[in-house]
Amino acid sequence: MNNKAAGVRTQIKVPLGAWSWDTASGEEFRVGAGLAEPYAITWCAVEYFEASGAIFQMLLQHISPNNLHYGRSLLHHAILCGNTGATKVLLNCGTDIESPVKTSEKTEFRPIHMAARLGLSTILQCLIDSGCDLNATTNTGETALTICAKYKQADCLRVLATAGADFGLVNIAGQSASSIAGSNRWCLGFQQAVLNLIRVGKVPKSSNISVFSPLMFAARSGDVQALRALIEQGEINLDSQDDKGFSAVMVTAMEGHVEAFRLLVYEGADVKLSNKLGKTAITLSKLNQNHDQFEKVLLEFALEKGSQCARGFYALHYAARRGDLNAVKLLTSRGYDVNVADGDGNTPLMLAAREGHGSVCKLLISSGARCDVKNAKEAHQGREGAPHKKFLKMLGNEGVLQWGRSSRRNVICGDAEVGPSSGFRRFRQRKGDGDVPGLFRVVTTNKKEFHFVCQGGLETAELWVRGIKLVTREGMFGKMESGP
């Protein structure tokens, strides 16, 4: 129908609309039907859109869809009204999909930003299907993705992520979608929306992994299913590090996610890597109450794969401390050094003795573990004598304590206790060294008493006493079992 031939005026404006907006800030208000500023007839057709869309399409044959009303186009109005049908008609008529809303305060945003803010996922998908710029920014650098995070629009976030929106972009304040979600108390919702995508094989795109890394995100959440899905993509570098030097396996260790840590270790993640502070996954795991579980994973990995290369983790020491006799047997048979000291200076034998694992001590000794400890010094014999430094060691598993070549300095231990005897304390009281830290005494099978002071204080003295008792007990029981 020709509007001119029929004499119909199409430029008339009528006050039938229900929406108004601030031309300075761009803020919208639903004022109620008939209370808005007068609209052109096409704008009324958007608000009162009939099912077939025929009337609206006919009007668009005579009126440009890109005509503005207070800084907005018909497409903006269709989105504001949540009218999917009108949006599709406009897109099919060639409306400007990137036309920005402009205000007197220089606020500027596009149709994709409106749809994301209002949570209109179906309309958002229509815009994407029509080729809109997924990563277009507002005047403040916001993308549709960051707007979703700000307004907690999970469905729209899913649509954008599936289409390939960039999670690595930041606004002019340096905030990403992830950080905005955190500051807006939407961490869990954002996390679940992203993880749900990863689990079904949709890897979020990021142009800057220091801002957002799908691998680090899944590792931080401890989601094993999402991590496995990323690994199965085949294009993930498990050892990539962020700007602080953290890798995914470090993050799982730091956050206490044991099963995620296990998956990454078994998939080949390098636990020897260190961050810029020199921390490895092993040292970071010790910050958690469940740090023992991380060591258990590494022990199981070492037993299964025969790996000795986990810097900072000492498989044999861990097995000895736990009293895992089978693990100790397997590790020693694979050539693990029974005399190497860990980061705290402890040997496997020390740890086994400290925890009271006699059978492990016996096995370690039979495998060549040394019973001598450096920096131990003989303090006094009996009640007199000046302190003098000697190296103290236990010989084999017979309970012989040695600190020199003389037979007087090779004694068979009957018992050992931390601290001085009452007589020793009384006679050394004047010199003030009758009860110093690290003091322990040994009673021989001939009832002679010797006192020693070891460097390391009470804890080391307790270690010595426990070790002497264990080795002495093993020697006595061994002789009884092998006797006639």
What are the pLDDT digits (tens) for 50-97?
777 777 888 778 788 888 888 889 999 999 999 999 999 999 998 999
3-state secondary structure the chain: CCHHHHCCCCCCEECCCCEEECCCCCCEEECCCCCCCCEEHHHHHHHCCCCCCHHHHHHHCCCCCCCCECCECHHHHHHHCCCHHHHHHHHHCCCCCCCCEECCCCCEECHHHHHHHHCCHHHHHHHHHCCCCCCCCCCCCCCHHHHHHHHCCHHHHHHHHHHCCECCCCCCCCCCHHHHHHHCCCHHHHHHHHHHHHHCCCCCECCCCCCCCHHHHHHHHCCHHHHHHHHHCCCCCCCCCCCCCCCHHHHHHHHCCHHHHHHHHHCCCCCCCECCCCCEHHHHHCCCCCHHHHHHHHHHHHHHHCCCCCCCCCHHHHHHHHCCHHHHHHHHHCCCCCCCCCCCCCCHHHHHHHHCCHHHHHHHHHCCCCCCECCEEEEEECCECCCECCCEEEECCCCEEECCCCHHHEEEEEEEEECCCHHHHHHCCCCCCCCCCCEEEEEECCCCEEEEEECCHHHHHHHHHHHHHHHHHHHHHHHHHHCC
**Position 310 pLDDT exceeds 90:** no
pLDDT at res. 9: 59
Mean pLDDT of 254-282: 93
**Position 464 pLDDT exceeds 90:** no
Mean pLDDT of 185-205: 96
Residue 345 banded pLDDT, cuts 50, 70, 90: confident
pLDDT at res. 18: 65
Residue 211 banded pLDDT, cuts 50, 70, 90: very high
**Position 203 pLDDT exceeds 60:** yes
The percentage of the chain sitting over the pLDDT mark of 90, rounded to a whole number, equals 39
Better pLDDT: 468 or 399: 468
Among 137-141, 186-190, 317-321, the least confident range: 317-321
d(CA 250, CA 256): 10
pLDDT at res. 64: 81
pLDDT at res. 449: 85
**Position 132 pLDDT exceeds 70:** yes
What are the pLDDT digits (tens) for 142-165?
999 999 999 999 999 999 999 999
pLDDT at res. 82: 93
Mean pLDDT of 388-392: 66
pLDDT at res. 3: 47
pLDDT at res. 2: 46
**Position 272 pLDDT exceeds 50:** yes
User: What is the arrangement of strands in the sheet containing 410-418, beginning at the earlier edge strand?
Assistant: 376-381, 449-454, 439-444, 410-418, 400-402, 393-395
Among 219-228, 238-247, 272-281, 376-385, the least confident range: 376-385
Domains annotated for the chain, with CATH where assigned, are 213-313 (1.25.40.20), 324-367 (1.25.40.20), 376-482 (2.30.29.30)
**Position 181 pLDDT exceeds 60:** yes
